[in-house]
Amino acid sequence: MFSDDVIEDMNRLAHFLAFDQTSGKGPEGEPSLMILLGNAILPTAEAAFQALAQGRISRLLIAGGIGHSTELLYQAVQTQMRYRHIPTSGRSEAEVLNDIGVQ
């Protein structure tokens, strides 16, 4: 069972992560920068790259090192026929996601 302090901290973190920060619009009325944080949910990365390709954003910053969930990204890439050729071992999440975007 979690203490009240831990639950309060988890709720504070969830509120922060759910905060919609997309209202900062660029000159054309769309967000000018999107930040893609390293993760293993490939549809998220694909949507970000699609937004860039379609001109809905003008810049995409990819962030992600090697951490506790990097192996999950490696597994997700290796299970997708479309991405299996992308090298993963020892590479940062940002490097792997960049290769997905270049493809």
Query: What is the identity of the amino acid at 12?
Result: R
The reported pTM is 0.72
Is there a contact between 47 and 73 (Cβ–Cβ < 8 Å)? no
pLDDT value of position 23: 54
pLDDT value of position 11: 84
pLDDT value of position 19: 62
Largest CA distance in the chain: 49
Digitized pLDDT (tens) for each residue of the chain, 103 residues in all: 788 888 888 888 887 777 655 555 555 565 678 999 999 999 999 999 998 998 888 899 999 999 999 999 999 999 999 999 999 999 999 999 999 999 9
